Amino acid sequence: MARQTLTEVAREVLERGNGKAPKPLTKPKDVIEFARAQGVVMVDLKFVDLLGNWQHFSIPITALSEEVFQEGLGFDGSSIRGFQSIDQSDMILIPDPTTAVVDPVCEVPTLSLIGDVYDPVTREPYTRDPRYIARKAEAYLKRSGIADVSYWGPEVEFFIFDSIRFDQGAHYGFYFIDSEEGIWNSGRDEGRPNLGHRPRWKEGYFPVPPADSLQDLRSEIVLRLMQAGIEVETHHHEVATGGQCEIDMRFQTLTRMADQVLMYKYIIKNVARAHGKTATFMPKPLFGDNGSGMHVHQSLWKEGRNLFWDERGYAGLSELARYYIGGILYHTPALLAFCAPTTNSYRRLVPGYEAPVNLVYSRRNRSAGIRIPMYSDSPEAKRIEYRCPDPSANPYLAFAAILMAGLDGIQNRIDPGDPVDVDLYELPPEEARKIKQVPGSLEEALRALERDHEFLLRGGVFTPDVIETWIELKRKEVDAIRLRPHPYEFYLYYSA
């Protein structure tokens, strides 16, 4: 079976009815029949490492049997970051049949399956498997009696560049980014036409083509996402020059949305590469322009009713929603160890670039850590938007941690205080100093997580081992940056 053309892909997703995703398969037998009916010849088995990156291995379709879904397939856990030591390396991956889709970017017809990691001796789920942690968080929500489901809608921003070069040695260090769309190329004259029409600094939201040079590329990405069963609501250029973009997925349940975020990244990176470009989810690749966030929309539901809605409350929020906000704001310093988990994350979390550095909530105000969108009066649409996370986060861990913080707020009736409906960047200094802000570095967030993680341990959702391992891995990143000279230090200090 030849790879589908874009026209064929478009016809396929439209025939489903307004881009609706196909109903997930649930039985191994149905998955095998589906794969063979689609002409699949390979099966790609994916799982997520602790830091949030997909790992994979593949088998021929002839090796896929119902037994694989029961017994799993073995792999070396000691070669995966954050997993096993070499003396306990054997692990098992059991595919989840509900995740079966035809891989939308492989040239060879391939079935994609996401798997859960198990211990081969105890046959128990592996405690460091991020997908297991996400599923435990959903189970804890139900056991709490507060709600029976949570819905998640992250806005995952990213850049598409034309080239990237970087290196670091004992006596040098550099990076060099380029984008045909970048405003820094407005004066270029290299023997080829310079056609102009580029978004200026912080003016990429959102002019039509040709200034938005990535319209068709994003549309192709959307078609591939829909082909993979992901419902898409909108796509557009984002604020920064140089190719910043956003594609918004329709809300989903927690674990399923985390699955979709990884498929989203996978498709975007591969479609960009097929066009000779490179996509990154690094929070702050460009100095002097907006970084990429992952604004996380969320709500709690019980028996088909949105628990965040109350027409009498501020911005239509219920008291339960206010307490949920209180828990997130209270625990944000610790949460950011998972939600903004890189040293680069804190290049984004600075004033002046629409970054949410202030730990307050507000309707419509994008300078607040939590915003209550006001686009609709519908009770079903009422939600909160947590703006601090970024796309370098492991979505399974980030969503689970945010949910646990919100539930702690409800259980302990944590008051978030009064909303702040003014531009926080324009407050008088004496007023601004009263507002708590996010940590200024990854090291600060890790220290906060060390002090404040009991709320994550409830119901066995996170374990002390997972938190300790996470802090150990992330401290190595902090040290790696701390020990190396920064290029700008030479500008500041070489002649001192």
Pairing of strands 149-161, 90-95: unpaired
- Note whether 335 and 401 are within 8 A (CB): yes
387 counts as catalytic: yes
Alpha-carbon distance of 164 to 338, in angstroms, equals: 27
The residue from 155, 212, 220, 443 that is catalytic is: 155
Distance CA 273, CA 156 (A): 19
For tokens 């942690």, the residue is: 133
**385 part of the active site:** yes
Catalytic residue among 129, 385, 390, 443: 385
Q: List, in order, residues 6 or more apart from 378 with CB less than 8 Å away.
A: none
Buried b (16+ CB within 10 A) or exposed e, 161-198: bbebeeeeeeeeeeeebebbbbbebeeeeeeeeeeeeb
Residue 3 Ramachandran class (φ > 0 left, ψ -120 to 50 alpha, else beta): beta
Residue 108: alpha-carbon gap to chain centroid? 28
Residues annotated within a binding site: 155, 157, 233, 238, 246, 290-291, 295, 297-299, 348, 354, 366, 385, 387
67 and 42 Cβ atoms separated by less than 8 Å:
no
**Alpha helices (H) along 145-253:** 215-227
Taking each helix axis as running N to C, give the angle between helix 464-482 and helix 442-451, from 0 to 180 degrees, rounded to the nearest 10.
160
Cβ atoms < 10 Å from Cβ of 419: 18
Of the candidates 103, 138, 231, 238, the residue annotated as catalytic is 238
Residue numbering of the annotated binding site for L-glutamate: 290-291, 348, 354, 366, 387
Catalytic residue among 237, 295, 371, 453: 295
CA atoms within 13 A on the CB side of 283: 25
Kindly name the residue from 387, 408, 443, 453 that is annotated as catalytic: 387
The single residue of 256, 363, 366, 475 carrying the catalytic annotation is 366
Phi then psi dihedrals of residue 481, to 5 deg:
-75, -40
CA triplet 279, 340, 361: central angle to 5 degrees? 115
Q: For residue 366, what is the DSSP state?
A: T
> Is position 135 annotated as part of the catalytic site?
no
HSE-CB for 89 with a 13 A CA cutoff: 8
Here the tokens at position 138 are: 């959903």
Q: Would you say 210 and 195 are in contact if contact means Cβ atoms under 8 Å apart?
A: yes
* Gyration radius (Cα) of the chain, Å: 23
Which residues contact residue 247 at a Cβ distance below 8 angstroms, ignoring those fewer than 6 apart? 156, 218, 221, 222, 225, 232, 234, 235, 264, 268
Q: Which of 30, 33, 66, 76 is catalytic?
A: 76
Residue 209's Cβ-side half-sphere holds a number of Cα atoms within 13 Å equal to 7
Annotated binding site for Mg(2+): 155, 157, 238, 246, 295, 385
> Binding site membership for ATP: which residues?
233, 297-299, 366
Tokens of 164: 């990237």
Per the annotation, the verdict on 295 as an active-site residue is yes
Q: Which of 96, 157, 162, 310 is catalytic?
A: 157
Specify whether 96 is catalytic.
no
By annotation, the residues acting in catalysis are 76, 155, 157, 238, 246, 295, 366, 385, 387
